[in-house]
Amino acid sequence: MNSRLLFTAFWTIVIKEIRRFTRIWVQTLLPPAITMTLYFIIFGNLIGSRIGDMEGFGYMEYIAPGLIMMSVITNSYGNVVSSFFGTKFQRNIEELLVAPVPNWVILAGYVTGGAARGLGVGIIVTILSLFFTQLQISHLWITLSTVILTAIVFSLGGFINAVYANSFDDISIVPTFVLTPLTYLGGVFYSISLLPGFWQGVSQLNPILYMVNSFRYGILGVSDINIGFAFAMIAVFILLLGAYAMHLLNTGKGIRS
């Protein structure tokens, strides 16, 4: 296939994915907006008023970047895992397998669609956060690159989950028992500098910590970890997950019956 046909195949998958989650926006875009509004009210306003400042910022302002990143993570992951598994379940995957479309184009299309939903929800949550606090971006390119790379990481993770899933119950196991705990323990609501030394070390094993802190640094200019190392970690996750997702597609594991 020439480059024009490859782009047409890629863009077709992306448009399909975007139309999918925008068509059912009441299920895909509205719930995370409501959930994050409740987080701002309960944690930021009610509890935050008792906590006071965090790292020199009001508590509401401090947790806002983490809540935005939380919405990007969960929606990027959720979009791909549900969409690709639905394609498997309905046997539509066979149409892609017999089409002369390279596997990397299929993967790129689904990942881009997942990232689009994650970024879309992130924008919605950012707008909502402005009703509760003021956000001034300190480092624009760090902010943009962090949120885009994070959306890619979790879109890849959702794709791998979808490949291994055998039922609709399987696509909720990782988000419930892995993703949610890591997100809550990833420095969204607190600075790890408040933790004892041992638990600070344990926290640094959490990949989400690096993403949340990089994004917080981009907006507020403060971080618990080295930004260069954080970007290196994110890049490693993209390479590892991307390579493994391609391996699954090339071997047909969980896809070809």
Task: Supply the pLDDT for residue 52.
Answer: 74
Task: Supply the pLDDT for residue 254.
Answer: 72
pTM of the model: 0.93
- What is the pLDDT of the chain when averaged over all its residues? 90
How big is the CA angle at 42 (ends 200 and 134), to the nearest 5 degrees?
A: 80
Amino acid at 3: S
Q: How many Cβ atoms sit within 10 Å of the Cβ of residue 54?
A: 20
**31-53 pLDDT, tens digit each:** 999 999 898 888 777 777 777 77
How confident is residue 256, by pLDDT bands cut at 50, 70 and 90? low
Rg (CA), the chain: 19
Alpha helix ranges (H) inside the chain: 3-23, 25-28, 30-39, 48-51, 59-89, 93-98, 103-129, 140-164, 173-174, 180-184, 197-203, 207-220, 227-251
For 58-65, what is the mean pLDDT?
A: 90
3-state secondary structure of 133: coil
Task: Supply the pLDDT for residue 257.
Answer: 56
